[in-house]
Amino acid sequence: MIIREANIEDIKQIQIVRNSVIENTLSDPNLVSDKDCEEFILVRGKGWVCEIDQEIVGFAIADLKENNIWALFLDPRFERKGIGQKLHKTMLEWYFAQTKDKVWLGTAFDTRAEKFYRTAGWKEVGTHGPKEIKFEMTYNEWISNSKN
């Protein structure tokens, strides 16, 4: 298992992973274009991928412009192996090395992702649109949680 920074050549596989998920699916796969991915990993923030046997099986992308976690997704075949936790840790370590501003994300209600973020120490602060919970993480909460 290799966690590394994402690059433009990874975008096709990132899109395959994004569209393979069972929860938090896109209503239209065309809503997130290759150009969107490129902008988020090269201009707005940074992304990471997890590779197993030269196949991208998960990815995470942080957005510094909006202080947001834009994406954290795994191919369902590779869930429950600690990959999400490693991507999450790598992404937040980088994020809080860039800024001490709190970071937020939205995820669908009653999903494994909701439970994942709660367990990781994210605080529910309301809703993000009609179908998502909004979570936030401060620098101090991250430091406190990452020591556990």
Instruction: Provide the whole-model pTM.
Output: 0.91
Number of C-beta neighbours around residue 99 at 10 A? 11
pLDDT of residue 117: 94
Residue 136 one-letter amino acid: E
pLDDT of residue 78: 87
State how far the Cα of 22 lies from the Cα of 12, in Å rounded to an integer: 19
Residues 6+ apart with CB under 8 A from 136: 102, 103, 104, 122, 123, 125
* Cα 16 off chain centre by: 15
Instruction: Assess contact for 58 and 74: CB atoms under 8 A.
Output: yes
* Cα 38 off chain centre by: 15
Low-confidence ranges of the chain (pLDDT < 70): 22-31, 147-148
- Give, in words, the CATH class of 2-146: alpha beta
State how far the Cα of 110 lies from the Cα of 104, in Å rounded to an integer: 18
pLDDT tens digits along 30-62 = 667 889 989 999 999 999 999 999 999 999 999
CA dihedral (39, 59, 17, 103) positive or negative: negative
